[in-house]
């Protein structure tokens, strides 16, 4: 089975990704991008966590993604280059996965426009390469705290990954720079402490404002939306 298949060269760094096996998560798109670029396959292995190999899915979309994944692995001869692990809900184990990839100087790649895993990976110090659309475009400062790729231009996305691993090979401090940049970004913008402080400020101001004002519900909602945008840019 693919989930237990060994990688041929375990000394190579790892491109890692973890998400549901839904079309919107575009895990098959990531596998196809990797498979098409022979140089990228030479530079790094691909490890993905998605789907459940232990039971057949009842979801038609997931069934289709399973079939596509197997087809891509065969088409691009990825056996020995890819490790496909079943998804699981053990957060401690997931955390260890991030740390292992980090310790082996790998990178996290994400091809979909939303996902908490981008922040999880950056929190572990793992250089993160994610889509230039949606949430990751705001989370990552391109070239500083990670790298942006465009899933609609897979050839260019693969080139960005190739360039990243080539730079890391030539200058190991480049990996450290990207890792530290991601951590700095998280500590500045995305910690629970920062979130809770903003939430408490929002709650306090709203409570006082509601007590002294007499606006209608629609006006209240517009005010809250404006204030939320100011506190959570």
Same domain for 136 and 225, yes or no, is no
Using CA atoms, how far apart are residues 152 and 33, in angstroms rounded to an integer? Answer: 10
Using CA atoms, how far apart are residues 120 and 137, in angstroms rounded to an integer? Answer: 15
Same domain for 219 and 136, yes or no, is no
What is the biggest distance separating any 2 CA atoms in the chain, rounded to whole angstroms? Answer: 69
Query: Which of the residues in the chain have pLDDT under 70?
Result: 1-5, 114-115, 192, 194-233
Same domain for 18 and 67, yes or no, is yes
> Which domain range does residue 222 map to?
192-231
Using CA atoms, how far apart are residues 188 and 204, in angstroms rounded to an integer? Answer: 23
Same domain for 96 and 16, yes or no, is yes
Cβ distance 2 to 73 under 8 Å? yes
Using CA atoms, how far apart are residues 2 and 30, in angstroms rounded to an integer? Answer: 17
Cβ distance 157 to 34 under 8 Å? no
Same domain for 118 and 205, yes or no, is no
Using CA atoms, how far apart are residues 151 and 132, in angstroms rounded to an integer? Answer: 8
pLDDT at residue 2, rounded to an integer: 41
Using CA atoms, how far apart are residues 233 and 225, in angstroms rounded to an integer? Answer: 12
pLDDT at residue 233, rounded to an integer: 57
Same domain for 79 and 119, yes or no, is yes
Q: What is the pLDDT of residues 103-142, one digit of tens each?
A: 999 999 988 776 688 989 999 999 999 999 888 888 999 9
Same domain for 124 and 223, yes or no, is no
What average pLDDT does the structure give for the chain?
Answer: 85
pLDDT at residue 88, rounded to an integer: 80
Cβ distance 15 to 161 under 8 Å? yes
């Amino acid at each position: 089975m693919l989930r237990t298949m060994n990688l041929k060269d375990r000394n190579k760094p790892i491109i890692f990704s973890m998400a549901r096996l839904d079309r919107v998560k575009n895990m098959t798109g990531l596998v196809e991008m990797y498979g098409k670029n022979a140089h990228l396959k030479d530079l790094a292995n691909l490890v993905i966590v998605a789907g459940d190999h232990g039971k057949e899915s009842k979801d038609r979309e997931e069934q289709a993604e399973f079939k596509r994944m197997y087809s891509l692995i065969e088409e691009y001869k990825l056996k020995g280059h890819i490790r496909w692990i079943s998804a699981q809900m053990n957060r401690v184990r997931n955390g260890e996965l991030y740390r292992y990839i980090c310790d082996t100087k790998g990178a996290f790649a994400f091809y979909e426009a939303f996902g908490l895993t981008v922040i999880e990976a950056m929190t572990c110090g793992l250089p993160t390469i994610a889509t230039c659309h949606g949430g990751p475009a705001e989370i990552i400062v391109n070239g500083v705290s990670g790298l942006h790729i465009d899933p609609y231009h897979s050839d260019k996305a693969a080139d960005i990954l190739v360039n990243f691993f080539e730079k890391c090979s030539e200058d190991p401090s480049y990996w450290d720079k990207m890792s530290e940049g991601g951590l700095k970004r998280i500590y500045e913008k995305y910690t629970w402490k920062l979130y809770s402080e903003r939430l408490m400020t929002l709650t306090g101001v709203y409570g006082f404002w509601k007590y002294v004002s007499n606006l209608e519900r629609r006006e209240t909602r517009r005010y809250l939306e404006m204030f939320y945008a100011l506190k959570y840019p």
